[in-house]
Amino acid sequence: MQVTQSTAPLVQAQRNYFQSGVTHAYGFRQTQLKALGAAIQEQQGAIQQALAQDLGKSVFEAVLTETTNSISEINHTLKHLKAWMAPQRVRTSVVQFPAQGEIWSEPLGVVLNISPWNYPFQLAMGPLIGAIAAGNCTILKPSELAPHTSGVIAELIAKTFPPEYITVVEGDKTITQDLLKNRFDHIFFTGSTAIGRLIMAAAAPHLTPVTLELGGKSPCIVGPDAPVELTARRIAWGKFINGGQTCIAPDYVLVPPALKAPLLGQLRHWIGEFYGKNPADSPDYGRIINEHHWQRLRDLVDPAQVVIGGDGDIEARYFAPTVLDGVGWDDPVMEAEIFGPILPILTYGEMGEAIAAINARPKPLALYLFTNDPNLQNQVLSQTSSGGVCINDTIMQLGAPSMPFGGVGESGMGAYHGKFSFDTFSHRKSVLKRKFWLDLDLRYPPYHDKLKWLKWLP
Encode pLDDT of 293-307 as tens digits.
999 999 999 999 999
Domains located in the chain, CATH noted:
8-214+412-431 (3.40.605.10), 219-399 (3.40.309.10)
Q: Which are the catalytic amino acids?
A: 213, 247
Encode pLDDT of 365-396 as tens digits.
999 999 999 999 999 999 999 999 999 999 99
Query: What's the pLDDT score for residue 5?
Result: 65
Query: What's the pLDDT score for residue 440?
Result: 85
Query: What's the pLDDT score for residue 441?
Result: 87
Query: What's the pLDDT score for residue 130?
Result: 98
Query: What's the pLDDT score for residue 433?
Result: 94
Q: Does residue 188 contact residue 113 with C-beta atoms inside 8 Å? A: yes
Query: What's the pLDDT score for residue 6?
Result: 86
* pLDDT beneath 70: ranges in the chain: 1-5, 458
Residue 264 CA, chain-centre distance (Å), reads: 30
Query: What's the pLDDT score for residue 455?
Result: 80
pTM score of the predicted model:
0.95
**How far is it, in rounded angstroms, from Cα 28 to Cα 59?**
33
